[in-house]
Structure 1
Amino acid sequence: MTTIPFWRRKKIRRQVLQGAFLAAIAAILIIGATTAQRNLSAQGISSGFGFLWRATGWEMGTSLLRTSPGDPYWWFIFNGILNTLLMGFVGLFCATLLGLVIGLARSSKNAPARLLGTIYIEIFRNIPLIVQLFFWYAVVTQLPNPRNAIQIGHVMLTGRGLHFPGLNVTVLSAVVAIAIMIAALFVILWIAVARRFGRVESTRRRLLSLGVLVTGILGAAVALSWGRIPETPLVSLPELRGLNIRGGFQLRPEIYALAFAITVYGAAYIGEIVRGGFKSVGRGQVEAAQALGLSPWRVFSRVRMPLAVRAMLPILINQYVWLIKATTLGIAVGFSDFFMVIAGSITHSGQALELIGILMAGFLIINFSLAAVLNRVNRAIALKGKQIGVAQ
C-alpha cells in the first residue's frame, strides 16, 4: 500500500495554511503595536492603562450614578456604559412595541390601517436617524420654561427636561432594586422559553412566574427601604421654586429626544420585519386553527403570533444590534453615552489608542452578549425539522 507524503495530505495542507494565516495576522499586530509604541515614545506620549486611575477634571452631563470631576476615568467610562445600556434597553423596548403595532397595521385586512402603517414606514425609514434626532431635540428644547411648564398631575414638562416624582433613596439602593427586577424578568423569560419547563403544566408555570415576579418586587422594595435617606419623605415631588423646578427626578431633554428618535426610526424597520413574519405563516395552519373552532384572538395568539415570532427573531437580532450601535449618535445632542465619554477622555488624556480599544471592546461585548442571549432564545423556540406551508 502506497503511503501518501504528509505534505500532500489535504488536512495537513489546510492546517499549515491556517497556521500561516494566523501567524501573519499576529505578526501584523505585533509590528503595528511596536511601531505605535515607538512613535508615541518619540512624541513624549506615555502608553498603557495607568491613566484610568487618574482624576478626569471635567463634568459628566448625565449619569445614573453620582460623578464629580475628581472621579477617575474608569468610573466615567463605567457610567457611560450604563447610559448606553439604559438607552439601548429603552430604545429597543419602545421600538419593539411600536414596531409590533405598525407591523400588525401593515398586515391587517383594514385598508386605512395598512395605509397608515405604510405612510409611517415610508416617512421614518427614509429620513436619516441623525436628522430625526436633531428634529426631536429642537422640538423638546422649544418647550415652555419652568414658570409655564406643561403640568399633568405631579409631572412637569419644560424645555429643560421632564420632571416627575422620585424616591429619596441612595443611588446604590436604586441600582440594587433595578438589578433585582431585571433579574426577575430574565428568570420569568427563562421559564417561558426553556425546554426544561416545556413539560410542566401551564398553570404551574404561571404560578412559578408569578412567584418570581412577587419575589422580585419584594426584594426591590426591601432594597429601596434599606437605602432611604433619613429624615426625608420617601417620595419627592417636583415643584416650582424661583426660576427652576426643584425636587423629584429630572430627565434631561437629550435623553428622551434620543430615545424617541431611536424608537420611531427603529419601529419603521421592525414593523416591516413583523409584517414579513406574519406573512410567512402558512395559510393552511391558520385555516386548520379556524376549522377547530378557535376564536380570532386565539388563532392570533396561539397560532399566528408564535409562528411569526419564530420567523422574525433571527432578523430582529440584527436590527437590535444595529440599534444598540445607533446610541452613539447621542453625542450629537450632548448625551453622555459610552462613545461621548470615550471621546471626552481622549481629548483630556491623549490616550487615543487605549481608549479606542476600550470602546471597541465594550461594544463588542455588549452586542455579542445581546446576540448570544437572543440566539439562545431563538434556538429554544425554534421548530425542529422543515416546516412546509403556503404563505398568505
Structure 2
Amino acid sequence: MSQLFASQKFRRTALQAGFAIAAVLLIVSIILTGQRNIADQGIATGFGFLERTTGWPINFSVIEVSGRSTYARVLWAGLLNTMLVGFLTLIFATILGLLLALMRVSSNTLMKLVGTTYVEVFRNVPVILQVFFWYAILTHLPSPKQAYSIADSIYLSNRGLMFPAPSFSGNDLLLTALAFVALCIGIWVMRNHHTAMRRWIGAAVVFGVICAVLLVTGREPDMPLISTPELKGLRFVGGISLKPEFSALLIGLVLFGASYIGEIIRGGLLSVDRGKLEAGTALGLSPFQINRLIRIPLAFRAMLPSLTNQYVWLMKGTTVGIAIGYPDYFAIVSTSINQSGQTMELLALLMGGFIVINYSIGFAMNMLNERIKLKGRS
C-alpha cells in the first residue's frame, strides 16, 4: 500500500478523482437545496408552462406571434430574432472589417488614415452607447406621413424602413423544407464541381429554381406577386418592415464588431511573408489579384482562431438589444420570467439556447480551420 501511495501517477489520479467527486457533490447539494426552497415557497416547477398562452405580443418577430401564442412559440421567436440579428452582424461586420484591414495595410496615406481613425473611434466607444446613438437617430426621423420615399415603394420613417418583398402565404414548414433542400443542393454543387464557372452556373440554377418554387407554391392565388408598402392611417401595410430597434442594434453591432474584426484581419495580413507578395508582383499580378489570390488566403489561416472568438462574442453581444426594446431571446426570457415566475426553467432555456448557438459557431469554425490548415509531414 505504501508503494502505491508513493506512485506519483496514483496521487495525481486520486487528486483529480477527489476534485471531480467534490464538484459533483457541490452541484447536487445546490440543486437539492434549490428544489427544497422552491417547494417551501409553493412555486410550481417544470416545463408545463410552455404550453400556456402568454397574453402579450412582441413588436418584431421572424415568425408570426400574437398574444395567444404559447410560451414555447414566443421563446422560439425570440431565439430566431437573436439568430437573425447575430448572423447578419457577423456577415456585414466581416465584410466591413476586411475593407478596414485592407485600408490599414494600404500604402495610400489617406486610406490608411481613414481606416485607423475608424478603428480608434468605434473600438473605444462602448457598444451599448453606439446602439443608443443609432436608436435615437432612427426614432427621430419623420413620421410615416412625412416619410422619406424612393420611387414610391421604399419608405424611411420613425417606424422603420419599409420596402417591397415577394408575397408568401406563411407556410413555415414548406419554406423550411425548401431552404433545407437548397442548402443540400448548394453543398453538393460546391463539392462536386471544381471549376469556378460550373460552381457559379450551378449556384445560379439552384437559386433560380428555389425562387420560382417559392413564388409559385408559397403564394396564395389572390395574393400579388410583390407586396408593396402602402400608407394606411398612421402606419404602413405590406412589404417588409425593419423596426428601428432591429436596425439600431444591427448598425451598432456591425460598426463596433467591424473595428475589432478589422484589427484581427490586419494582423493576419501582416503575418504573410512579403516574399510571397513580391513574387506575385514579379509574376505581373495586380494589387487586387495579389490580395485575392495570395494575401487573403494565407492570412485566413492565421486569423481564424481569433476570428472565432470574436464571432462568439458578437453573438453574445446581441443581448444589449434589451436596452432599446428589441425582442431578442434574452429580452423574451426576461419578460417570461416576470409573467410566469418560472425562473429556473427559463434561465436554463436561456443558457441552453446560447450554448447551442455559440458551440455551433465554434464547431463550424473549427471544422473550417481543420480543412484549411497546412498538413504536416507524416
- Normalising by structure 2, we get a TM-score of 0.92
CA distance in 1, matches of 2:184, 2:97: 25
For residues 335 and 267 of structure 1, the distance between their equivalents in structure 2, rounded to whole angstroms, comes to: 21
The answer to whether residue 169 in structure 2 is matched with residue 170 in structure 1 is: yes
Distance 2:205 2:6 in 1: 66
Count of residues in correspondence between the two structures: 374
Structure 2 CA distance for aligned equivalents of residues 140 and 185 of structure 1: 37
Task: Quote the Cα distance in structure 1 between the aligned partners of 2:256 and 2:4.
Answer: 57
Residue in 1 that maps onto 2:299: 308
Q: Secondary structure at the match of 2:30?
A: helix
Match status 1:144 vs 2:142: yes
Whichever residue aligns with residue 160 of structure 2, its letter is G
Amino acid paired to 2:64 = R
Alignment of structure 1 residues 352-367 onto 2, 5 Å: 352-367=343-358
Q: Secondary structure in 2 aligned to 1:151?
A: strand
Report SS of the residue matched to 1:157. Answer: strand
What residue number does 1:105 align with? 103
> Among the aligned pairs, what percent are the same residue?
43
TM-score (norm 1): 0.89
The partner residue of 2:72 within 70, 74, 78 is 74
Question: Per-residue displacement from partner, 1:133-192 (whole Å, max 9, x unpaired)?
Answer: 00000000111111111111211111001111122212214445555555556666x64x
Equivalent of 1:32, from 30, 33, 43? Answer: 30
Q: Alpha-carbon deviation of 1:316?
A: 0.6
The amino acid of 1:255's aligned partner reads F
**Distance in 2, Cα, partners of 1:263 & 1:254:** 14
Contact 1:174 1:224 in 2 (8 A): no
Change in CA separation of 1:346 and 1:186 when aligned onto 2, cut-off 3 Å: farther
**Cα distance change on mapping 1:97 and 1:233 into 2, 3 Å:** same
Please list every run of 5 or more consecutive structure 1 residues that lacks an aligned counterpart in the other structure.
Answer: 192-196, 387-392
Look up the SS of the partner of 2:236 in the other structure.
strand
2:370 is aligned to 379
Which residue identity lines up with residue 222 of structure 2 in the other structure? E
Residue of 8, 21, 24 corresponding to 1:23: 21
CA–CA distance in structure 1, aligned partners of residues 307 and 107 of structure 2: 24
Compared CA separation, residues 185 and 104, structure 1 to 2 (3 A) = farther
8 Å contact 2:96–2:258 — kept in the other structure? yes
Amino acid at match of 2:98: L
Give 1:114 deviation, angstroms.
0.6
DSSP-derived class of the 2:106 partner: coil
Cα distance in 2, alignment partners of residues 370 and 187 from structure 1: 21
Structure 2: gaps (5+ residues)? none
- 2:54–2:69 contact (8 Å) kept in structure 1: yes
Q: Deviations over 1:104-125 (max 9, x none)?
A: 1111000011111111011111
1:184 & 1:25 partners in 2: Cα distance? 47
2:120 counterpart residue number: 122
